[in-house]
Structures are given as structure tokens and as C-alpha cells.
Amino acid sequence: MGGRTKKVAEKIASDLKSSEVVIERIKYTKKLRNFFLEEDKIMKGDLSNFKYNDLILDFEPYDLIVLGTPTYGSLPAVIFNGYIEKVKNIKGKRLILFSTCRLISIKTFRVLEAEIEKRGGKVVKKQVFKGFFKIGIRKVEKFSDELNQDFPK
């Protein structure tokens, strides 16, 4: 909605020392009012009303995956469950998670980790970026530095 998750993802990508960092966005293509009527279908993997690069549905070529989501009502965006339901070759893969929120993100990582681990993936690091109007860039830089130390090329 406000672009905060996108800005955090761009900052993390620019700070990482890896040469193969790509940001892929999943975008809803219909009118927003339709989205709420489709939540159950989306959570079960129906991504027909989303625009995205099909390559992001296969984790096979990747050693480490960073996934970010905005938080709505202390939960991750509904698309997250549908995406994880549809992705292939997640078993044994390491994932780093981040979320952005204005106030509360209590259940976000519990939901994210449960879905990932149900499919055989392993969450190795996570971070919440809070900010009512904007996210503090220093916190994102610190997180990126930790990633560079913890997961070198």
C-alpha cells in the first residue's frame, strides 16, 4: 500500500554482497475490493489474479531465499500462504524472512514459519521493521550487515 516493504527489499538487495540478488514482486491485478472476496482461494494457492515472474515458483536454483511481506492485522499478507503453497523445491532450502508493519506483527512470523516448515523449508533468520510512517533505514542497514556476515557469498 505505502511501498515500505518494497523499499526495505530494495535496500537489503543493494546492501548484500552477493552478485545474484534479484527482487521479484507479486502484484494483485484486479480491483482491491475483489481481493477480499478471494482470500480463501488465494491462501490455497490460486494466484490467477496476480502478476509475477514464474521463475519465483521454483526454489531449486537458489541456496538462500529472502522473503518479505507487509503485515496486516498482525498477520502476513494473504498472498504469502498461497505463494508458499504453490512454490516447488522448498524442501531443505534456507529462508530469511522480513516483515514490515506500522504497529503490531505478533503472529506474522509464527504463520510464515509454520507454512514454510510444513513444506520442508527452514527459516534461518527473521526481522521485523516497524514504523508508522516510514521504516528507519539504519535498522535495515544493520540487518543487511548481519546477513553479509552470517551468509557470505
> What does the domain layout of the chain look like in residue ranges?
4-144
Q: What are 27-82's pLDDT values in tens digits?
A: 888 876 666 778 888 888 888 888 889 999 999 998 889 999 888 888 888 888 88
- Read off the pTM: 0.84
CATH homologous superfamily of domain 4-144? Answer: Flavodoxin domain (3.40.50.360)
Binned at pLDDT 50, 70 and 90, residue 89 comes out as very high
**What are the strands, taking DSSP E only, across 8-63?**
27-28, 50-51
Q: What are 100-131's pLDDT values in tens digits?
A: 887 777 788 888 899 999 999 999 999 989 87
pLDDT of residue 130: 81
- The angle at the Cα of 98, spanning 95 to 135, to the nearest 5 degrees, equals 160
All 3 cell numbers of residue 105?
506483527
Nearest to 59 by CA among 97, 23, 79, 86: 86
Q: What are 130-153's pLDDT values in tens digits?
A: 877 777 889 989 999 999 988 876
pLDDT of residue 19: 60
